[in-house]
């Protein structure tokens, strides 16, 4: 038996319950982990409320990321051994694989031995942000030294990872946040410029920063009216990568900007990477090299105890955090 987090209906954080469940022996291609820490993602909040690309099957588990110790191996597992310290790369389905638990089974292909310098909390905060960013900025956009990229919601764990990856490949980074409260922290993470979207004009500031040229790449989890704003500041033949839907407002297609400037609006999730063996291998190599060199380093805002999972989700939805929220087990 293991204590795991489940929910029996969609709703707010209060629907999350810690329950005792049976954890079977790992099946073929699976490993069992004794979980040490769990990285939280906004996608899990959306899944819990019923506003996600997957629909919960009740009683539903949730959770994409974790770190822990391998305690059992299923058949045909060769990439890790019992006793290994690993992190979990988000598998393809939050419905099938949930990481919110003291003991969990996960696909062996989605666990990675992390660099020795990372502790459990940091190791639980790696894979969703950096895989998401690598697939968008490196694989799709081919971001490079001559490029400027705008990163919206930049104080999130994915936003901070995007700043770090963009700087690693030599690009100029314009980070956006709602107010100037997080400006210094974003500059400290490597952003070249910060725009507070509730306090200044996005279009005017981008025009000023780029001397009227605009940015080639925009990386955005908000959508809604933000898509139109980004289409206005992306240059000819630019690309807007939409990887989320945080805005509650409808998302209109910026058709005339797309036509006149030949802009690509690319709907994207990390699954583009993990469902392609070659991309997945390249992403892991890039991320592990960056972690080992210190050029990529997860930023953790706050930790919560496992028993405080409801409060952790309330904080997740507060938009107050800077970086990752982690639950320790």
Which CATH number is 176's domain given?
3.40.50.720
- Rounded to whole angstroms, the maximal C-alpha distance in the chain is 61
pLDDT of residue 125: 97
110 and 136 co-located in one domain: no
Task: Tell me if 20 is assigned to some domain.
Answer: yes
CA separation for the pair 129, 154 (Å, rounded): 12
Residues 88 and 149 grouped into a single domain: no
Spatial CB neighbours of 211, under 8 Å, sequence gap ≥ 6: none
State whether 144 and 251 are in the same domain: yes
User: Is 283 inside a domain boundary?
Assistant: no
Please name which of 180, 176, 238, 182 lies closest in space to residue 202, comparing C-alpha atoms: 176
Any domain includes 266: yes
What's the domain count of the chain? Answer: 2
Q: Verify that 33 and 81 share a domain, yes or no.
A: yes
Q: What is the pLDDT of residue 114?
A: 85
91 and 16 within one domain: yes
Of the three residues 271, 288, 309, the one that is the final residue of a domain is: 271
User: String of b and e for 73-84 (b: at least 16 CB within 10 Å)?
Assistant: bbeebeebeeeb
Q: Are 192 and 62 in the same domain? A: no
The CA distances from residue 100 to 41, 62, 172, in Å, are 12, 6, 37
121: helix, coil or strand? helix
Asked if residue 289 belongs to a domain, the reply is no
Residues 89 and 215 in one domain: no
Question: What is the pairing mode between strands 30-39 and 324-328?
Answer: antiparallel
> Over the chain (329 residues), what is each successive 10-residue block's mean pLDDT?
96 98 96 98 94 92 97 96 97 90 97 91 97 98 97 97 98 97 96 97 97 97 96 97 93 95 96 97 97 96 98 95 97
Q: Specify the DSSP element, H or E, that contains 300.
A: strand 300-305
Spatial CB neighbours of 225, under 8 Å, sequence gap ≥ 6: 247, 249, 252
Residue 80 and residue 171 in one domain: no
In a domain, 277, yes or no: no
Instruction: Assess if residue 284 is contained within a domain.
Output: no
For residue 89 the two structure tokens come to: 């790369």
At 122, which CATH number?
3.90.180.10
Task: Supply the DSSP string of 125-153, one letter for each residue.
Answer: TSHHHHHHHIIIIIIIS---TT-EEEESS
Question: What domain range is 154 assigned to?
Answer: 129-271
- Say what the pLDDT of residue 319 is: 86
Q: CA distances (Å), 106 to each of 33, 63, 66, 73, 110, in order?
A: 8, 11, 10, 10, 7
pLDDT of residue 53: 87
Asked if residue 227 is part of any domain, the answer here is yes
Residues contacting residue 254 through CB under 8 Å, at least 6 positions apart: 227, 228, 231, 232, 263, 265
Whether 290 is in a domain gets the answer no
Verify that 103 and 154 share a domain, yes or no: no
Residues 134 and 237 in one domain: yes
* Residues 240, 135 within the same domain: yes
Whether 138 and 237 map to the same domain: the answer is yes
Q: What is the pLDDT of residue 115?
A: 86
């Amino acid at each position: 038996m293991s204590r795991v987090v489940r929910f029996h209906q969609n709703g707010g954080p209060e629907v999350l319950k810690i329950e005792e469940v049976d954890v079977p022996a790992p099946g073929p291609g699976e490993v069992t982990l004794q979980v040490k820490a769990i990285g939280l993602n906004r996608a899990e909040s959306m899944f819990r409320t019923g506003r996600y690309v997957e629909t919960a099957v009740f009683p539903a588990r949730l959770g994409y990321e974790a770190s822990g110790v391998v305690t059992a191996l299923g058949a045909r597992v060769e990439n890790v051994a019992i006793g290994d310290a690993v992190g979990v790369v988000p598998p393809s389905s939050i419905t099938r694989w949930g990481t919110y638990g003291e003991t969990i089974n996960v696909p062996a292909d989605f666990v990675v031995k992390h660099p020795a310098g990372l502790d459990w909390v940091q190791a639980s905060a790696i894979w969703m942000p950096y895989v998401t960013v690598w697939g968008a900025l490196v694989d799709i956009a081919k971001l490079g030294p001559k490029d400027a990229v705008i990163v919206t919601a930049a104080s999130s764990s994915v936003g901070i990872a995007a700043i770090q990856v963009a700087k690693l490949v030599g690009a100029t980074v314009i980070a956006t946040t709602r107010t100037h409260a997080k400006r210094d922290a974003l500059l400290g993470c490597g952003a070249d410029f910060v725009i507070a979207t509730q306090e200044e004009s996005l279009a005017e500031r981008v025009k000023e920063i780029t001397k009227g040229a605009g940015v080639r790449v925009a990386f955005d989890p908000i959508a809604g009216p933000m898509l139109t704003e980004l289409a206005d500041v992306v240059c000819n033949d630019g690309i807007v990568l939409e990887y989320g839907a945080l805005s509650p407002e409808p998302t209109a297609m910026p058709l005339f900007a797309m036509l006149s400037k030949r802009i690509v609006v690319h709907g994207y999730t990390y699954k583009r990477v993990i469902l392609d063996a070659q991309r997945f291998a390249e992403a892991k190599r890039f991320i592990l090299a960056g972690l080992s060199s210190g050029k990529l380093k997860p930023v953790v805002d706050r930790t919560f105890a496992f028993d405080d999972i409801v409060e952790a989700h309330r904080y997740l939805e507060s938009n107050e955090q800077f970086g990752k929220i982690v639950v320790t087990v």
